[in-house]
């Protein structure tokens, strides 16, 4: 069973939250219906998974009474090609059912989180899923207990041809698998290893004392995340400054606790890496997807060599805003005042279809099928799950949850999630179940490619200078947040681990100084840091995900390279892209991308997206100059 398919919704949500454009939200003025007010065409059709709840319960019973006992019976027998083939086939049948059983009630619950029936069915699904996991926990240790020569022969056996890559991935883990007793000890430490992340959540979400600040009317505002974002988008600079400094002081109060917590996370990562015989925590983390350390280091080095465009961006922003100093609390101020760009859902679908034309008729028809076949639940409702995601069982079709609000961000979310969905459609059609699920390293490439195509289309077809300026700044912010910021985080994460691996202690002062040194390098001389800026590292939840954030940067870099090849009509580029979508998890992610035309072991893809970033900044600067000149002329005319 591919457990990552069950939890993918959470991973995709995590990635999507960071990939979405970060500029000021555009509030819709067009009529926006509630979910309850729209027709069935805008709602999921869960009957495509199970016609009735009784059908769901029948499959739960089948798993519990038929499949799980049969799977258990293979324990101690996975020692020949025939036995392995029979076991894998049975496991695939069970897993196919488990995906439907698990997703059906969870999708139902996400439409109405007060639905008692859905809650009951979720409990049944979780229970049988855990029974399955317990029953099949012997599989990997038993296979890897075979000697290396036999494993290599099994990998080449025709009976196991479809499982060849799966077996190869297991074999690569063999040297890092310990004795049964040692594995038991590591498993017992597993729950303990979650402690740093648990403490971080409790400190930042429960015990954290949110700062308060007064507005112009003297009303006290509690700085929740949403309230803080709105303040940073306001034109009142003094208000923004007071809010930023107050929030920074709040993190100062927990600096010691969060420094100790993060040090604990790093020690945990190093402990498990050493226990399994890896040279470093970074190497251990990358091994999960067969990613070389060279790829990680090339990414960091490439970005470090291309910091000049980012420095220019901040210098131009400082100049346009007319400030003597540019601070963190100035970053979210829109330079296009009172501009709105919005689309109804149907308008967004039409616009996205135009933007995705370079992908060809086949892709567009699949996109239309998803819209017309009710893969999406479009509008928000009082008890509906927030945000957006793509999820769905193999052999049925994807399900996309949206909370559409007519903003450009919502339209981009639609394009993003349909990118994930069609990745699954192409993969499921081409690949057997065992090879259909794609890696997180490649998952965001398909979704981000759609966003890049949409933004490229919108920028090229902007109807006014204001619209183009707005779109250029949006795309600049996207790349800044997804490449520069995430690589800055990655560099901090790597260096903090290396300090501990070198035997040095991580005091609050060490972490604060490391953060500030890296920030100053990335942001450049036009940027002024406040005293509380040094606590910024302590609020990042992704630092508890063991070298995860670099994937944001590699994903958008690879996507940009593929999109560039397609838009430039490079021979075979579209066909290679569709083959990439259909590859699923049939090979290691770096190899799949190579076949599509992107070699992530080299820096070219990263270099190219930063060239694109520089071009965007130059276009943005020229347009700002043009507008300023026009305003100056108008002012002179009025004066005359």
β-partners of residue 401 are: 377, 389
Strands 399-401 and 376-377: parallel
| Alpha carbon distances (Å) from 427 to 94, 384, 423, 534 | 20, 29, 6, 44
3-state SS class at 213: strand
The answer to whether 470 and 339 have CB atoms below 8 angstroms apart is yes
Closest CA to 340 of 291, 405, 275: 405
| Alpha carbon distances (Å) from 361 to 230, 358, 369, 456 | 41, 9, 12, 19
Catalytic residue at 47? no
* Chain mean position to CA 548: 9
Closest CA to 88 of 162, 3, 6, 171: 162
540: left (phi over 0), alpha (psi -120 to 50) or beta: beta
Helices (H), 63-215: 68-72, 81-111, 116-135, 139-144, 148-156, 164-173, 180-192, 195-201
Tokens for 31? 């009529």
End-to-end Cα distance, the chain: 77
Tokens 């080449």 sit on residue: 156
* 507-534 residues labelled b (16+ CB within 10 A) or e (exposed): ebeebbebbbebbeebbbebbeeeebbb
Q: What are phi and psi of 292, to 5 degrees?
A: -80, 155
Which of the following is catalytic: 417, 477, 491, 561?
A: 417
Q: What are phi and psi of 364, to 5 degrees?
A: -60, -40
Q: Looking at residue 234, what DSSP letter applies? A: S
3-state SS class at 212: strand
The answer to whether 585 and 438 have CB atoms below 8 angstroms apart is yes
Q: How far apart are CA 306 and CA 317, in angstroms?
A: 18
Q: How far apart are CA 37 and CA 102, in angstroms?
A: 29
| Alpha carbon distances (Å) from 64 to 139, 140, 164 | 18, 21, 29
3-state SS class at 268: helix
Residue 483, judged by CB atoms within 10 A of its CB (0-12, 13-18, 19+), counts as: buried
- The residues annotated as belonging to the active site are 417
């Amino acid at each position: 069973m591919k457990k990552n398919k069950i939890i993918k919704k959470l991973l995709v949500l995590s990635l999507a939250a960071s990939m979405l454009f970060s500029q000021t939200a555009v509030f819709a003025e067009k009529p926006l219906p509630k979910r309850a007010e729209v027709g069935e065409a805008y709602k999921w059709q869960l009957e495509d998974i199970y016609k009735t709840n009784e059908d769901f319960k029948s499959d739960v019973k089948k798993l519990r009474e038929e499949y799980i006992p049969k799977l258990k019976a293979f324990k101690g027998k996975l020692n020949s090609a025939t036995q392995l083939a029979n076991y894998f086939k049975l496991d695939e049948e069970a897993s196919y059912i488990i995906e439907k059983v698990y997703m059906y009630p969870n999708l139902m619950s996400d439409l109405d989180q007060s639905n008692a029936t859905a809650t009951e069915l979720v409990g049944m699904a979780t229970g049988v899923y855990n029974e399955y996991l317990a029953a099949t926990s012997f599989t990997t240790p038993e296979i890897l207990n075979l000697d290396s020569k036999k494993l290599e022969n099994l990998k080449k056996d025709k009976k196991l041809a479809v499982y060849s890559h799966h077996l190869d991935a297991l074999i690569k883990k063999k040297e890092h698998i310990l004795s049964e007793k040692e594995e038991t000890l590591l498993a017992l430490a597993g729950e303990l290893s979650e402690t740093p992340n648990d403490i971080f959540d409790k400190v930042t979400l429960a015990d954290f004392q949110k700062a308060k600040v007064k507005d112009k009317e003297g009303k006290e505002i509690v700085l929740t995340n949403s309230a803080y974002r709105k303040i940073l988008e306001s034109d009142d600079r003094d208000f923004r400054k007071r809010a930023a400094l107050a929030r920074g002081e709040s993190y100062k109060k927990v600096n010691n606790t969060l420094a100790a917590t993060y040090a604990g996370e790093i020690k945990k990562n190093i402990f498990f890496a050493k226990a399994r015989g890896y040279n470093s925590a970074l190497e251990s983390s990358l091994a999960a997807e067969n990613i070389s350390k060279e790829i990680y280091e090339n990414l960091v080095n490439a970005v470090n060599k291309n910091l000049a465009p980012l420095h220019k961006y901040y210098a131009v922003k400082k100049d346009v805003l007319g400030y003597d100093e540019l601070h963190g609390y100035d970053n979210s101020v829109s330079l296009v005042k009172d501009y709105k760009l919005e689309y109804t859902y149907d308008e967004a679908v039409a616009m996205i279809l135009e933007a995705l034309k370079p992908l060809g008729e086949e892709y567009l028809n699949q996109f239309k099928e998803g819209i017309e076949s009710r893969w999406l639940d479009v509008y928000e409702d009082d008890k509906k799950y927030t945000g957006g995601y793509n999820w769905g069982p193999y052999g049925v079709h994807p399900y996309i949850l949206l909370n559409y609000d007519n903003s450009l961000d919502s339209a981009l979310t639609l394009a993003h999630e349909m990118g994930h969905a069609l990745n699954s459609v192409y993969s499921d059609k081409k690949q057997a179940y065992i090879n259909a699920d794609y890696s997180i390293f490649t998952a965001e490439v398909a979704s981000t490619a759609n966003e890049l195509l949409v933004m490229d289309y919108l920028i090229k077809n902007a109807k006014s200078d204001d619209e183009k300026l707005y779109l250029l700044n949006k795309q600049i912010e996207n790349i800044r947040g997804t490449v520069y910021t995430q690589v800055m985080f990655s560099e901090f994460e790597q260096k903090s681990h290396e300090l501990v691996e070198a035997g040095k202690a991580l005091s609050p002062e060490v972490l604060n100084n490391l953060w500030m040194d890296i920030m100053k390098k990335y942001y450049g001389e036009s940027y002024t840091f406040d005293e509380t800026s040094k606590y910024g590292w302590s609020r990042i939840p992704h630092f508890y995900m063991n070298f995860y954030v670099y994937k944001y940067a590699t994903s958008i870099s690879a996507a940009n390279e593929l999109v560039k090849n397609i838009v430039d009509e490079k021979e075979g580029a579209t066909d290679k892209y569709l083959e990439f979508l259909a590859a699923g998890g049939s090979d290691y992610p770096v190899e799949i991308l190579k076949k599509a035309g992107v070699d992530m072991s080299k820096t070219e893809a990263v270099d190219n997206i930063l060239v694109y970033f520089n071009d965007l900044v130059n276009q943005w600067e020229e347009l700002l100059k043009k507008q300023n000149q026009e305003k100056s002329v108008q002012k002179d005319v009025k004066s005359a």
